[in-house]
Amino acid sequence: MTITKAFDAGVRSPVSRQAQVLLGRADALLSESIGESDAGDRFLGSYAAALKGAAAVLASLPNSIGARPRSRSAWVLMAKAAPDLAVWADYFASFSATRAAVEAGASSTIADLDADDFHRHVGRFLNSVEDRLGGQARFASVDPMTAPLSA
């Protein structure tokens, strides 16, 4: 006998532990980044949080991307797998060059106000991810910094 899962439009499947942990880590990274005095460091911490948020989305989906995706970009993969978040994927992808420049040491690439605006946008994105995951992901009793990523 084979057991299969059926998904109705109004029924949500439980959020995977991996997605919960990744979203928790995203929250932690975003919280840590606001304490950085350097705009470049704030930006990088926020960008890392956004990447963890994208990873949480991807971890929550059945293997809809396929065995070997052509792109390794989290933003491309998320836009393809979760079209409702494509606007966010495009927004964050537009900052990939800025991220590379800041990582290369060009700290003057991003101003304080821009880093703060980016931080706020990441927070909104993580709220969207939480909503997409059903609201239960952030508040599960999982320590995101110590929990293993295995589902």
pLDDT tens sequence for the chain (151 residues) = 333 333 444 444 567 889 999 999 999 999 999 999 999 999 999 999 999 999 999 999 876 555 555 667 899 999 999 999 999 999 999 999 999 999 998 767 799 999 999 999 999 999 999 999 886 544 444 444 454 444 3
Which long-range contacts (C-beta less than 8 Å, at least 24 apart) are formed by 127-134?
Answer: 128/85, 128/88, 129/23, 129/26, 129/53, 129/56, 129/57, 129/85, 130/23, 132/57, 132/60, 132/82, 132/84, 132/85, 133/15, 133/19, 133/20, 133/23, 133/56, 133/57, 133/60, 134/12, 134/15
Give the residue from 132, 139, 146 showing the smallest Cα distance to 53.
Answer: 132
Would the pTM of this model clear 0.85, i.e. be above it? Answer: no
Q: How far apart are CA 138 and CA 130, in angstroms?
A: 7
**Domain residue spans in the chain?**
17-62+69-132
Second-level CATH architecture of 17-62+69-132: Up-down Bundle (1.20)
Q: How far apart are CA 17 and CA 59, in angstroms?
A: 9
| Placement of tokens 């971890």 in the chain | 59
